[in-house]
Amino acid sequence: DVVLGDAAHGSRGIAVGFGRHATPSCDAFSAEGVSGYLVGIEGLPGGLVGWNDAGLVVVAGRGAGVAGSLPLTSAVERLARCRTLSDAGRLAATLAPIGGSVIVAVDGAIGLIDGHGRMVDGGTVACDCGALAALVKVAGNAAGHVDLNRLLSATTGAGVRDGLSATATWLAAGAAEGATVSFAGGPRGSWLPSPAATMLAAAWQTTAAAQTASTQTSTVAEVTGRFGLALADLAPAVPSRNLAGERMFVLVGTDSAGRALAAEIVSRLTARACEAIELPLTSSADVLAGIAAAEAQGPVRHLIVAAPWSAGEDWVTARESAVNAGYFACQRFLAARARAGDSSRSTLTAVTGLGGDFGLGGAIGSVVGGAYAGLCKNVAREYPEVQIRVVDFASAAPVADVATRVIAEVESAGPVEVGWQGASRKTVIALAGVPRAAAPLAGLARGSVWLVTGGARGVTAACARALGAKHGLNLVLVGSTRPLPIQELWLTLDEAGLKALKGQVMLDAKARGGDPRRAWRDVEKSIEIASGLAKFRAAGVTARYEACDLADGAAVRQLVGRIEREVGPIRGIVHGAGWESACKFEKKTAEGLEATLGPKCIGLEHVVAAIDPRHLESVVAFGSTSGRLGGLGQADYSLANDMLAKIVGRLRSGRRSLRATVFHWHAWDEVGMASRPESRFVLEQFGMKFMPLAEGVGRFMTEIEAGLPEAEVLVTEPVFCLDTLSATVSHAPAAAPATPAGSCGSLVAAVEKAGRVTNVAMVLDPTTDRFLLEHLQHGRPLLPAVMGAELLAQATIAAGVCERVEEIRDFIVERPIGFPTDQSREVRVEIEAGASGAVTARGWATVRGGAGRDGEVPRVHVAATVITGATEPIAARLDDMLFPWNPMVYQDDGPMWHGPSFRTLSGLFLDRSGGWGRLTAPNADTVAEPRGAAGWTIPAAMLDGAIVGCAVYSFVLCGKRVEVPVRFDRLRVVGRAATGEKCTMRLFFRSQDPQQTAYDFVIFGVDGRPLVAVDGLHLAVLSPERRGPA
């Protein structure tokens, strides 16, 4: 798939997708007076893409070829030697017939060559891309076009490129933000050599200059992307927790299936020597009393909420037992763990019956499962030290299988959402893409009646106004406010006039003995409703306003009956009603939960049940990203929004078979709950971008006019979806493979035993070793500190002391190992076994003699204690990051320079505790070139990226301190990342003095399993005397 130019935004560039499993090669050529590069696929002659130093780019198209013709790849190879479009056109005529179409570009102009060798003017845009191509799904816009601006942007494109690399092998280059850029990626990481990338980028120099000259007229990129939901495979659950001796609450349903599941769970816990405490979910008071009684006998660190799996369909009347009791049980449990200080040893697991796919397939047993899924995603953010999991099954899954897999999930790490379909372990991911076309909605016919909940103001009103204006609909707006009579003059008041009116209203209320604030709030809402209705009239939309409490079923039935009699049959619903008040979970109340569920979930159930099913065709519901991704301080709101999504999903597949979609909306600009000053301030501090009103309305209209093809649509910034896009990465073995004791890793040159001491020699070459060529201090190679630890690990194994190194303690860089010249340096590692499996390892190298001394003197440069036995598991759990990644930009002009192999850190988010980093695992053999990574223990490039993240914290938040690593207290390596796997570092700031800063960090795999932990990393301020390496 190929895109040249960008029709939507007028940029110039190229993007080529080769497919997920392609392994492209890139070879240099020099012929006929030009030099360039040719990208091909192993096993095929010629190439698929080529470019040269004249600025000409050639790409194989997807057009049909001519029988008996020159292979398309060979034609690309020949045409890549041309200098101009004219040259390429003349050569193509002599090469014909050709086995396909070819696209040629130079200086922004495009030529299209068909199989007969005929070239036609391609204008400034060429797109030869399948509708389902990864380029469209990940880097596409709402219109289904590849947006090169998003893909190529240095500031905002990192997330798009990471997402694309998770699904395809690709390259892209062009002019972006006034500069020429080029990128390449794929599941195996970056693959395009630096010189080739530089030449490809240079082909768009003319366009970059033109962009710089017209910056002020550039188009503003969309803030959000449109994502559908899908399932991705997860690695098998790997036990990392022992439940023996623990105590666990099991909250069970009172139905027969619930009791059967409880019996199976208790049986398995008993077999593990874990005490199970059964509590039936009958009422909040009963379950809280049971929790208090059990806690009085000792801490209970684990909770399974099993009741949702077998919950009934009629949750509205049974919500005290179905929803409220479990909600407040979780609240009490988590508060107890926080008080006891044992959160890191605790787990909370909910069991749901949404089909094993969280309702995506429509086989939803009970929408109560959605409530607990939303709750779990929220509390996972508020209580990051507790392992939170929601495990989904089909409601008809065998009880024994459900129980076995639930206990396995409690014992293992993983994402918050885990679904089981048969023997397959899944999670939910977000996939970028435009809506699939479905049959048009008949209910959009002019004059059709639509009921709109959420009032005449805010987000819902803006969307409904656009829908009504375009399709000539008759709208009935339903809100909770009963408007007061207002004076028409009030609608035209400016800020000063409204302030004066507010004062008068509040004084009058006080004089009457009323509540002044409430009096003004009622008047203010009445003004907003009247103003909103005036906007509908101005847009030519027929609309009337009705007040109704949607949580009152009788009131809803009465209202709907009156509308159907007076206005006509209701064809569609836009359900935007909602209520939200953020605070910590521990402070949430029963009144707040009821106020949240009432308009959003109970209200929709009442409205749909009241409308004549013979006429109702479609439902569009407004949810929130807090339901899909979790929020902060929004436990009840997250619960209600994900429950709303499952109510909508059930409407699609149940006896109603409605066209129904829920939008998981991003924070809106200008209107909506997130635009309130108190909410906006907090979100802006963390770098969240607000979705413009016009952008959100456009996405709403696009989905409806596509026929509402999907049950759930996520609209948010692409950076919020990076974690899920890479969930299909296959995993490497859990730990580094054992090396027979005495075997030599690729760094080892010689081994010599001398009594109790073994000397292991290693020769480092600054002209060939990639880990030196791509790690420079002031322009000269410097051995990375993490490579110093690798030297000691390989030497310990080569000395025959052990087969695998999983832990290193008290590592210190006494002197940096630098290379002032291109001469190789020998490092001699001295290994001396001690007691209790501890090995002393010292790395010696010669240094120039000091004052008054000639020649070279051996000195210890690195030293550590290597632990030869198995290390203890890493108990840390990855807590969720609330806000998106800030792109990491490696500096090319600083004292430390990292080459491509070491640039594993792509994103950072920092806060006072420390922060999070996004790391991509490189191919270990690439970092180890030309030796290869045989016998290597430490993921050096990933560890180096994590250390860079800590150094960025020191620079950004600690007064622009430039620091380098000098020691760490403890390193544990318990797992390995697959090449290309998207990993997350969680760093913690420990302490700081004028000379050093201390950090801890843990690196987690894509599924949340801990891989590497470093305790007590010490970074020292880079002083002037360190400017010359030793």
Classify strands 49-52 and 57-60 as parallel, antiparallel or unpaired.
Answer: antiparallel
The reported pLDDT for the residue numbered 211 is 47
pLDDT (0 to 100) of residue 724: 40
Residues 470-499 as b/e (b if ≥16 CB within 10 A, e otherwise) read ebebbbbbbbbbebeeeeeebeeeeeeeee
* CA distances in angstroms from 47 to 65, 104, 292, listed in the order given: 16, 14, 71
Sign of the four-CA dihedral 160, 163, 167, 171: positive
- Decide whether 2-221 matches 442-480+548-725 in CATH topology: no
Q: How many Å separate Cα 407 from the centre of its chain?
A: 27
DSSP-derived 3-state class of residue 703: helix
Within 10 angstroms of residue 952's Cβ, the number of other Cβ atoms is 20
pLDDT, tens digit (0-9, with 9 covering 90-100), for 569-578: 999 999 999 9
Q: Which fold has domain 729-1030?
A: Thiol Ester Dehydrase; Chain A (3.10.129)
Give every residue of the chain whose pLDDT is below 70, as ranges: 5-11, 20, 43, 123-132, 141-144, 154-159, 177-178, 206-221, 654, 670-688, 719-743, 848-855, 882-884, 1023-1030
Strand order of the β-sheet with 24-31 is 24-31, 34-41, 49-52, 57-60, 102-106, 109-113, 119-121
- What is the rounded distance in angstroms from the CA atom of residue 358 to the CA atom of residue 893? 49
Asked whether the beta carbons of 899 and 774 are under 8 A apart, the reply is yes
Q: For position 734, what pLDDT does the model report?
A: 36
* Residues above pLDDT 90, as percent of the chain: 52
302-322 per-position pLDDT tens digit: 999 999 999 988 999 999 999
- Give the closest residue to 257 by CA, choosing from 318, 303, 311: 311
Distance of alpha carbon 687 from alpha carbon 670, whole angstroms: 17
User: What values do phi and psi take at 142, rounded to 5?
Assistant: -65, -25
Count how many residues are written for the chain: 1030
3-state DSSP assignment of residue 542:
strand
Q: 160: exposed, middle or buried (C-beta count within 10 Å: 0-12, 13-18, 19+)?
A: buried
* pLDDT given at position 743: 58
Residues facing 915 on adjacent strands: 910, 987
Query: How many CB atoms lie under 10 A from the CB of residue 398?
Result: 11
Within 8 A by CB and 6+ apart from 346, the residues are: 301, 302, 337, 385, 386, 387
Which is nearest to 880 in space by CA: 625, 523, 630, 537? 630
Q: Which residues of 303-326 are buried (b: 16+ CB within 10 A; e: fewer)?
A: bbbbbbbbbeeebbeebebbbbbb
Name the DSSP class of 721: G
pLDDT, tens digit, 9 for 90 and up, residues 965-1002: 999 999 999 888 888 888 999 999 999 998 999 999 99
pLDDT of residue 685: 40
Nearest CA among 668, 554, 531, 562 for reference residue 602? 554
DSSP code of residue 488: G
| pTM recorded for the entire structure | 0.58
Amino acid at 544: R
- Token pair of 829, please? 């590692």
- Specify the CATH number for 442-480+548-725; select among 3.30.420.40, 3.30.500.10, 3.40.50.720, 3.40.640.10: 3.40.50.720
Break the chain into its structural domains and give their ranges.
2-221, 238-413, 442-480+548-725, 729-1030
Is the domain spanning 238-413 CATH 3.40.50.720? The answer is: no
SS3 744: coil
Quick one: CA dihedral 11, 13, 17, 23, positive or negative? negative
Residues in Cβ contact with 690 at an 8 Å cutoff, skipping those fewer than 6 apart = 223, 666, 667, 668, 669, 674, 675, 680, 683
CATH, range 2-221: 3.60.60
Token reading at 1026: 């360190």
